[in-house]
Amino acid sequence: MGRPRKYERNFTKLGDPLHPVYQALIHLRYRCRNESFKQYMDYGGRGITVCEEWDNDPETFVDWSVDFGGWEAGKGLTIERINNNGNYEPDNCEWIIRELQSANQRIRKDNTSGMRGINWNKKLKKWIASIHSRKVSYYLGCYRDIDEANEARNKFIDDHNLPHQKN
């Protein structure tokens, strides 16, 4: 076991390349630029970029993260784009817990209802309502009417005080 790492704001050229803030910058650059990244089409392929300010001066990203973005050591936070169609830039990013980030995702391309957590099951010929929270997927029921499925999902969000977006 090595010596404990000290996560400070002022490190020489970011000092430790394993610092979580520095790693986040490396990863967001990667998903916006590297066409061989499996999810590149969800980031750089859609035109999402890293602002010049952060890209050219990583210290600026670190300063923003600590002073304005909400980053705190030991909290297990991830960088989030507030507007999923916007770029990685100070006005469109914040550090949040993973649970909140997973609740703020785009509707998948293969979604048949156009609503989060509601999908058509061809075999059953019904709408399935589900939600993913805290690393668990919840099956909320099978419905003939899409509005009933949506109502069940929204009720589950309210009843369990989840950060998920309602339809």
Please tell me which residue, 30 or 166, carries the higher pLDDT value: 30
Residues 6+ apart with CB under 8 A from 25: 50, 54, 58, 61, 62
Q: What is the mean pLDDT of the chain?
A: 81
- CA–CA gap between residue 44 and residue 81 (Å, rounded): 14
- Among 21-35, 50-64, 105-119, 138-152, the minimum mean pLDDT is found in 105-119
* % residues pLDDT > 70 (the chain): 79
Q: Where in the chain is the domain with CATH 3.30.730.10?
A: 107-167
- CA–CA gap between residue 128 and residue 116 (Å, rounded): 11
* % residues pLDDT > 90 (the chain): 34
pTM: 0.61
Looking at 3.30.465.10, 3.40.630.30, 3.30.730.10, 3.40.50.300, the CATH number of the domain 107-167 comes to: 3.30.730.10
Residue 84 has pLDDT above 50, yes or no: yes
CA 135 distance to own-chain centroid: 14
SS3 130: strand
Distance separating the N- and C-terminal Cα atoms of the chain? 48
CA 108 distance to own-chain centroid: 14
142: left (phi over 0), alpha (psi -120 to 50) or beta: beta
- CA–CA gap between residue 30 and residue 145 (Å, rounded): 42
Residue 68 has pLDDT above 70, yes or no: yes
SS3 118: strand
Residue 140 has pLDDT above 70, yes or no: yes
